[in-house]
Structure 1
Amino acid sequence: MPKLTKLLGSVAIAACLAGAAFAQDTKDLKADTVVATVDGQDVTLGQMITVREGLPPEYLQLPDDVLFNGILDQLVQQTALSKIGEGMKTKKDDIALEVERRAYLAGIVLDKTATDAASDAAIQKAYDEKFVNAAPGVEYHAAHIIVPTEDEAKAVKADIDGGKDFAEEAKEKSQDGAAQNGGDLGWFTLDKMVPEFSEVIATMKPDEVVGPIQTQYGWHVVKLFDSRPAQTPTLDEVRDQISAELRQTAVQDRVTDTLKSAKVVKETDGLDPAVLKDTTILGK
Structure 2
Amino acid sequence: MYNIKSYIIIFALSLLVSTFSISSPVIASEDSDKIIADVDGNPITLAELKLAISSLPADYQDMAKTSLSQMMLQQLIDLKILSAKADEENITSKKSYKNELSFLIDQLKREHYLRNLYAKNVKEDTILARYKQLVSQLDSDKEIRARHILLKTKEEAESILVELSEGADFSQLASQKSIGPSASNGGDLGFFTRESMVPDFSQVAFALTPGEVSKPVKTKFGWHVIKLEEIRPRTAPDFNLVKDELRDELERMVMTSVIGEARRSAVINIRESNLSNLLIEK
TM-score, scaled relative to structure 2: 0.73
How big is the shift at 1:46? 0.8
Q: SS at 1:209's partner residue?
A: coil
Q: SS at 2:272's partner residue?
A: coil
Q: SS at 1:30's partner residue?
A: helix
Structure 1 distance, partners of 2:107, 2:162, is 61
Q: Which residue of 2 aligns with 1:253?
A: 257
Structure 1 distance, partners of 2:104, 2:95, is 14
Q: Which residue of 2 aligns with 1:46?
A: 47
Q: Which residue of 2 aligns with 1:209?
A: 214
Opposite residue 40 of structure 1, the aligned amino acid is G
How big is the shift at 1:12? 7.2
How big is the shift at 1:75? 0.7
One of 208, 213, 222 as aligned partner of 1:219: 222
Q: SS at 1:254's partner residue?
A: helix
Q: Which residue of 2 aligns with 1:77?
A: 78
Matches within 5 A, 1:164-175: 165-171=169-175, 173-175=178-180
Instruction: Please list the CA deviations of residues 43-65 of structure 1 after superposition, one character each: whole Å capped at 9, or x if unmatched.
Output: 11111111111111121121111
How big is the shift at 1:69? 0.9
- The answer to whether the Cα contact below 8 Å between 1:12 and 1:73 also exists between their aligned partners in 2 is no
Deviates more, 1:244-253 or 1:56-65: 244-253
- The answer to whether the Cα contact below 8 Å between 2:157 and 2:223 also exists between their aligned partners in 1 is no
Structure 2 distance, partners of 1:203, 1:133, is 19
How big is the shift at 1:250? 2.3
How big is the shift at 1:121? 0.7
Q: SS at 1:142's partner residue?
A: strand
How big is the shift at 1:157? 5.1
Q: Which residue of 2 aligns with 1:275?
A: 278
Structure 2 distance, partners of 1:35, 1:81, is 19
Matches within 5 A, 1:57-206: 57-86=58-87, 87-88=90-91, 90-132=94-136, 135-146=139-150, 151=153, 154-156=155-157, 158-163=159-164, 165-171=169-175, 173-176=178-181, 178-206=182-210
Structure 2 distance, partners of 1:85, 1:165, is 80
- The answer to whether the Cα contact below 8 Å between 1:138 and 1:227 also exists between their aligned partners in 2 is yes
- The answer to whether the Cα contact below 8 Å between 2:150 and 2:179 also exists between their aligned partners in 1 is yes
Opposite residue 219 of structure 2, the aligned amino acid is Q
Identity among equivalent positions (%) equals 23
Structure 1 distance, partners of 2:237, 2:134, is 10
Equivalences, count: 254
Opposite residue 258 of structure 1, the aligned amino acid is A
Q: Which residue of 2 aligns with 1:21?
A: none
Structure 1 distance, partners of 2:173, 2:107, is 54
How big is the shift at 1:233? 4.5
Unmatched tracts of structure 2, length 5 or more:
1-6, 15-27
Structure 2 distance, partners of 1:179, 1:96, is 58
Structure 2 distance, partners of 1:156, 1:212, is 9
Opposite residue 11 of structure 1, the aligned amino acid is F
Unmatched tracts of structure 1, length 5 or more:
1-6, 15-26, 280-284
When the two chains are superposed, the root-mean-square deviation of aligned CA atoms in Å is 3.5
User: Relative contact order (C-alpha < 8 Å, sep 6+): which is higher?
Assistant: 1
How big is the shift at 1:197? 2.8
| CA separation of 1:170 and 1:68: change in aligned 2, threshold 3 A | same
